[in-house]
Amino acid sequence: MGKTLAEKMLATHTEKGKASAGEIVDASIDLLMVHEVLGSRIIPILKEMGVKKIWDPTKVLVVNDHWAPASDTQSAEIHIRNRQFVKEQGITHFCDVNCGICHQVLPEMGLVKPGDLVIGSDSHSTTYGAFNAFSTGLAATDSALILATGKCWFRVPESMKIRIKGQLPEMVMSKDLILKIVSDLGVNGANYRSIEFHGPTVESMSVASRMTMCNMTVEAGAKCGLMMANDAVKEWVTTRNPSAQWTPVAPDKDAHYVADIDIDLDAEPLDPIVALPHSPANGKPVSEVEGLHVDQAFIGSCTNGRLEDLEIAARILKGRKVHQDVRLIITPASQETYVDALRAGYIDTFLSAGAVFTNSTCGACIGGHLGVLGPGEICISSTNRNFRGRMGHPDSKVYLASPATVAATAVKGVITDPRRLI
């Protein structure tokens, strides 16, 4: 029987070169990304394991991003530990607090290419599936084991195929599409599975839009979200890592899928979607919540803090003002995004509109700093999770939406369909 993307990608990383859904395989890792979890949890585990030297200091990326720059003495201590570890171990790839969010900086550094097996100590490591790589999140103990051995066991996931064709209407973004997909699947609709995205819509998508979709597959419980390499990805990888050798991976024609889903955006045009508290799978067309007052609007995170996200927000905010009852906070996904936005004039637009523009960090997304919500507050956010208490006080509420919907809402002070502001 033919092989899916997940099976093929895992197979090339096993000793026997084989992997079939349901089987447990031992695979060699191409790259491990760790962030603050390194200092807080992984280093103590490595000590307990008696590991003095890690398996390969050239295959690890360390990022200080969740509380960047440090928000308190504890995160400062974690950062100190990470810096020391990087030095002691001679780790090649290190991003300190001036780089940005792990899932954005890793691809920017050219550290993922088609066919790779990339693991991160963070659930949104599914993001790199956009680059035709097998990538998933694991936690501290598994990361420690990988640091020690370069290997990890995986249960080869069953795959679901989602084929998408048709155009996204103006002001409707890939975020709306993935919110709709996650809502249709449910929070555990893809638990333990790989989601393969196919079809012309995905084929013609920008790298940024693809990353948003793969990023959020984990909100349906998926182990990974995988895409074929399109031209944009090929160009990205060639520019960012010119010397690398790679071959795109495609599934076999007769590969087996546990589910087959077709989405036709021309036959059924997509509306902007808003996911109501407290679940990313609570997506509803924006019309159902239009007019709801918000206290804070947030654009940022590894889901939607990239240049195209800031571009659409700038288009909406140009010549307009953020509503007096709302604070709009914009946090770019990386320092590179920051510089690009600066050059493109977006930051000028944001500041003139009355927004707060911060350095790149996870910050508000995890309720860490730079935009934590107080009791009873309502936030519309371009992030990926609206669990109770995710962005601050347990009694705050988060509505997830695209950057366009967030920007339009910031202007009006109430949840607004961005198509009204074209």
Q: Does 191 bind another protein (CB under 8 A)?
A: yes
Q: Does 302 bind ligand SF4 (CB under 6 A)?
A: yes
Contact window for another protein (CB under 8 A) among 122-130, 203-211, 232-240, 319-327:
122-130
Nearer to another protein, 77 or 252 (CB): 77
Q: Does 41 bind another protein (CB under 8 A)?
A: yes
Sole binder of another protein in the list 23, 84, 192, 287 (CB under 8 A): 192
Nearer to ligand SF4, 78 or 263 (CB): 78
What mask of x and - would describe binding to another protein in positions 381 to 410, judged by CB under 8 A? ----x-xxxx-x-x----------------
Q: What is the 3-state secondary structure (H, E, C) of the chain?
A: CECCHHHHHHHCCCCCCCCCCCCEEEEECCEEEECHHHHHHHHHHHHHHCCCCCCCCCCEEEECCCCCCCCCHHHHHHHHHHHHHHHHHCCCEEECCCCECHHHHHHHCCCCCCCCEEEECCHHHHHHHHHCCEEEECCHHHHHHHHHHCEEEEECCCEEEEEEECCCCCCCCHHHHHHHHHHHHCCCCCCCCEEEEECHHHHCCCHHHHHHHHHHHHHHCCCEEEECCCHHHHHHHHHHCCCCCCCCCCCCCCECCCEEEEEECCCCCCCCEEECCCCCCCEEEHHHCCCCECCEEEECHHHHCCHHHHHHHHHHHCCCCCCCCCEEEECCCEHHHHHHHHHHCHHHHHHHHCCEECCCCCHHHHCCCCCCECCCCEEEECCCCCCCCCCECCCCEEEECCHHHHHHHHHHCECCCHHHHC
What mask of x and - would describe binding to ligand SF4 in positions 134 to 173, judged by CB under 6 A? ----------------------------------------
Q: Does 344 bind another protein (CB under 8 A)?
A: no
Sole binder of ligand SF4 in the list 5, 9, 25, 101 (CB under 6 A): 101
Q: Does 365 bind ligand SF4 (CB under 6 A)?
A: yes
Q: Does 6 bind another protein (CB under 8 A)?
A: no
Q: Does 339 bind another protein (CB under 8 A)?
A: no
Contact window for ligand SF4 (CB under 6 A) among 152-160, 225-233, 248-256, 359-367:
359-367
Q: Does 301 bind ligand SF4 (CB under 6 A)?
A: yes
Contact window for ligand SF4 (CB under 6 A) among 18-26, 46-54, 97-105, 154-162:
97-105
